[in-house]
Amino acid sequence: MEKVLVIEDDEHISAALKLVLESEGYNIAFSEDGEQGIDMINSFNPDIILLDIMLSQKNGFEVCSSLRSNEEYSSIPVIMMSSYGETNNIVKCFQIGANDFVSKPFNMQELLARVKSHLLLKELNYEKRKLKEKVIEHSIEGVTITDAQGSISYVNPAFSKVTGYSAEEVIGKNPNILQSGRHGKSFYQHMWGSLLKYGKWQGEIWNRRKGGEVYPQMATITAIKNSDGVITNYAAMFYDMTEIKKNQKEIEYRAYYDSLTKIPNRQLFLDRLTQAINRAKREEHMVGVFFIDLDNFKHINDSLGHATGDIVLREVAKRLSNCAREVDTVSRLAGDEFSVIQDDLVDIEEAGVVAKRIIDALSHPFHHENNELFTTVSIGIAIYPLNGETSADILRNADMAMYHVKDFGKNHFQFFTDSLNEKAMKRRDLEDGLRKAINDDNFLVYYQPKVDLKSGKMVALEALARWPRNGTIVSPTDFIPIAETTGLITSLDKLILQKTCSFIKKMQETISSTLNVSINLSTKDLENLHLIRDVMDTIKRFGVKASNLELEVTESMIIRNVESAIKILQEFRDEGFSLSIDDFGTGYSSLSYLTKFPLSILKIDKAFIDDLESNENSQSIAKAIVYMAHAMKMLVIAEGVETQGQLDFLRSIGCDQIQGYIFSKPLPEDEVVELIKSGKTLSLG
């Protein structure tokens, strides 16, 4: 039941009010003077007050004012009543905080309506306030409210959770009990300055928990003012940033360090290099940059798996770090590429010494699960300011020097020189040209005859790529390696196969005696998962049979990935292709493993043929090769035969065929057709 307190000295009015209000179900109490009225507010705890202005002891204005100054009662609605309804009076009522005013004599129904409406409003306000309180109580942000003097009047549970202090422990205290001692005077001065000037301060602040731990928090402090603009309270909202800071550190770590090896990554490397160069500029010293690439990492990864590959990378990172000085930065740039920045380099020789140390450190094998792992590195070195002005220049030149090491046998280091640059430019020029030539289908195929040593007749041809460029013909030895490293070889070999197929078709249609043609495959071709399908599609399209074609592979190509090479070659053989091993003797020269592969022809490398007449060693090797190949049911053909002496020797040891200038150089299409038509034979002397 809602309670109404009537403070009124006119008995008649009181009686009338009692009648009406009680019939509406309100609980009523009366007071006749102001002083007593205030006491009754305490004891009766009314929901609404009807207050006369003209009273004895204290008048209605005084009662209302004192009510409003008391926080506890400030929200009780007050309706003031007076027979002096001049504007002045009414305005004053509202100024001192009354909610409503009625002039006497009043209509009872109207008063009742006002009472009801104020009670409803109060209820609504109360609900709203409760809701706000609930939000604050359950907020995950800590909340502290102090009075104007800075004494804490309220804290929420989140405050206690973060600081470790219960509400009872801090109420009435100053928030400086939380100070960590990490901020100087000026910090707090600035905070207060901002609070007084803008009514607000926001920032990061280090505080101390009850347990003593110092922690970071993000806080917003607001000065709360009353209607006169006087600050009555301060409210602070804050959250603990410990976790966020930790995550930030983790994020930073991840952005700058390689997660596998725990050494700086490319990003940090570039930062440090730029810094080192700027410093070197000021202090006039040098900076050395090593570009380090593992020589056989792909092989380790492919054959032993990624897990082992990871172990190798970690071990390399460790060894590199051991070789470098404290001030140097060792980083992993990507995959199997590492780098060392030699800050504060005084003597170029020093760079060479460290490079040697690195090569030496990596030359020792390490052991992992019964595997003895080896990896060597190729190192390119560029020096600021000798080899470039910017970090990008230096890195590019170190990279270039590293490539040069790769081209010349790996496991070595090389300083950048300008001639390398020239070479690189030439190479880039070739690369661009090659790409364009492949796009424009600007290639020729020359065909070189293979001759049978018993009959002297041409028995087959080898297709060899030719690149006409700027009026000359570029040799495959110049462009095939580039095509391989750039991956262009796959497209190039497809093109050569198409041209060869079209040539075979033409030969079949125009001349009676057609010959089989061999084409050369490259390592990259064997890595192409669709190789067989691609080749089959092409020969079908041109109407050429697999038995008209022969595929040449080299030892180094198939030894790279023996299992998959066996599989691919077997499939080709099943389709009807014959397969030959090219440049035999230059690679691993192990005949025994060749039995694993479905090869039918062996081509002895030109290197053995060249000195056949002068070198007895070469003679006995050639003899052994022929003997063993025959034992394995393979045909033997000698490459690059130029002289009669070579020819005679090869015949004497039972070699089956030859290919070489002694009979014919590789010839363009129409010339080779003429040659076939002429029926020319090799004079066997």
- Residue 261 CB, shortest distance to ligand C2E, in Å, is 37
Alpha helix (H) ranges present in 576-643? 591-594, 606-610, 616-631
User: Which residue of 96, 143, 420, 480 would you call a contact of ligand C2E, by CB under 6 A?
Assistant: 480
Backbone phi, then psi, for 485, in 5-degree steps? -70, -30
CB closer to ligand C2E, 480 vs 599: 480
CB closer to ligand C2E, 49 vs 453: 453
In angstroms, rounded to a whole number, what is the distance separating the alpha carbons of residues 136 and 154?
A: 11
Report which of 486, 499, 483 is spatially closest to residue 443, judged by C-alpha positions. Answer: 499
| Helices (runs of H) and strands (runs of E) counted in the chain | 26, 26
Give the distance from CA 427 to its chain's centroid.
31
- Residue 682 CB, shortest distance to ligand C2E, in Å, is 13
- Residue 524 CB, shortest distance to Mg ion, in Å, is 16
Pick out residues in 165-224 that bind ligand C2E (CB under 6 A). none
CB closer to ligand C2E, 274 vs 556: 556
Contacts of 336 (CB under 8 A, 6+ apart): 293, 294, 297, 298, 313
User: Which residue of 46, 142, 264, 640 would you call a contact of ligand C2E, by CB under 6 A?
Assistant: 640
CB closer to ligand C2E, 223 vs 465: 465
Segment interacting with ligand C2E, rule: CB under 6 A, options 348-356, 489-497, 526-534, 564-572: 489-497
Determine the residue type at 21: L
Size of the site for ligand C2E (CB under 6 A): 25
Determine the residue type at 62: E
CB closer to Mg ion, 287 vs 612: 612
CB closer to ligand C2E, 293 vs 605: 605
- Cross-strand partners of 603: 637
- Residue 601 CB, shortest distance to ligand C2E, in Å, is 12
Q: What residue ranges in 271-419 does DSSP mark as E strands?
A: 286-294, 329-334, 337-345, 366-368, 371-373, 377-384, 413-415
- Residue 492 CB, shortest distance to ligand C2E, in Å, is 7
**Residue 607 lies near ligand C2E (rule: CB under 6 A):** no
**Residue 493 lies near ligand C2E (rule: CB under 6 A):** yes
CB closer to ligand C2E, 47 vs 583: 583
Segment interacting with ligand C2E, rule: CB under 6 A, options 54-62, 263-271, 476-484, 556-564: 476-484
Helix (H, G, I), strand (E, B) or coil at 182: coil
Q: Which tokens belong to 32?
A: 């006749």
CB closer to Mg ion, 52 vs 552: 552
In angstroms, rounded to a whole number, what is the distance separating the alpha carbons of residues 503 and 518?
A: 12
Q: What residue ranges in 253-336 does DSSP mark as E strands?
A: 286-294, 329-334
- Residue 518 CB, shortest distance to ligand C2E, in Å, is 8
Residues that bind Mg ion in the complex, under the rule CB under 5 A: 520, 552, 582-583, 639
Pick out residues in 502-541 that bind ligand C2E (CB under 6 A). 520-522
User: Which residue of 23, 88, 370, 477 would you call a contact of ligand C2E, by CB under 6 A?
Assistant: 477
- Residue 424 CB, shortest distance to ligand C2E, in Å, is 22
Contacts of 63 (CB under 8 A, 6+ apart): 7, 34, 37, 38, 51, 55
CB closer to Mg ion, 415 vs 608: 608
Pick out residues in 381-440 that bind ligand C2E (CB under 6 A). none
**Residue 464 lies near ligand C2E (rule: CB under 6 A):** yes
Segment interacting with ligand C2E, rule: CB under 6 A, options 337-345, 389-397, 564-572, 636-644: 636-644
CB closer to Mg ion, 334 vs 607: 607
Give how far Cα 1 sits from Cα of 4, 5, 25, 44, 313, Å: 10, 13, 7, 13, 81
User: Which residue of 659, 672, 676, 682 would you call a contact of ligand C2E, by CB under 6 A?
Assistant: 659
Q: Note whether 33 and 56 are within 8 A (CB).
A: yes
Name which of ligand C2E, Mg ion, none residue 8 binds, using a CB cut-off of 5 to 8 Å depending on partner kind.
none
Site string for ligand C2E, 556-595 (x = CB under 6 A): --------------------------xx------------
Contacts of 614 (CB under 8 A, 6+ apart): none
CB closer to ligand C2E, 336 vs 583: 583
- Residue 477 CB, shortest distance to Mg ion, in Å, is 11
Q: Note whether 336 and 274 are within 8 A (CB).
A: no
User: Which residue of 660, 672, 676, 682 would you call a contact of ligand C2E, by CB under 6 A?
Assistant: 660
CB closer to ligand C2E, 166 vs 683: 683
Q: Is 120 exposed, middle or buried (0-12, 13-18, 19+ CB in 10 A)?
A: exposed
CB environment 3-13: b (16+ within 10 A), e (fewer):
ebbbbbeeeeb
User: Which residue of 32, 100, 336, 639 would you call a contact of ligand C2E, by CB under 6 A?
Assistant: 639
Segment interacting with ligand C2E, rule: CB under 6 A, options 123-131, 148-156, 633-641, 672-680: 633-641
CB closer to Mg ion, 341 vs 451: 451
- Residue 553 CB, shortest distance to ligand C2E, in Å, is 10
- Residue 462 CB, shortest distance to ligand C2E, in Å, is 6
Helix (H) or strand (E) holding 100: strand 100-103
**Residue 475 lies near ligand C2E (rule: CB under 6 A):** yes
User: Which residue of 145, 333, 465, 650 would you call a contact of ligand C2E, by CB under 6 A?
Assistant: 465
Count, residues in the chain: 685
- Residue 387 CB, shortest distance to ligand C2E, in Å, is 34
Name which of Mg ion, ligand C2E, none residue 433 binds, using a CB cut-off of 5 to 8 Å depending on partner kind.
none
What string of H, E and C letters represents the secondary structure of 488-544? CHHHHHHHHHHHHHHHHHHHHHHCCCCCEEEEECCHHHHHCCCHHHHHHHHHHHHCC
Give how far Cα 218 sits from Cα of 202, 222, 572, Å: 8, 14, 70
Name which of ligand C2E, Mg ion, none residue 309 binds, using a CB cut-off of 5 to 8 Å depending on partner kind.
none
What string of H, E and C letters represents the secondary structure of 136-174? HHHCCCEEEEEECCCCEEEECHHHHHHHCCCHHHHCCCC
- Interacting residues toward ligand C2E by CB under 6 A: 448, 464-465, 475-477, 480, 489, 493, 496, 520-522, 552, 582-583, 606, 639-642, 659-661, 666
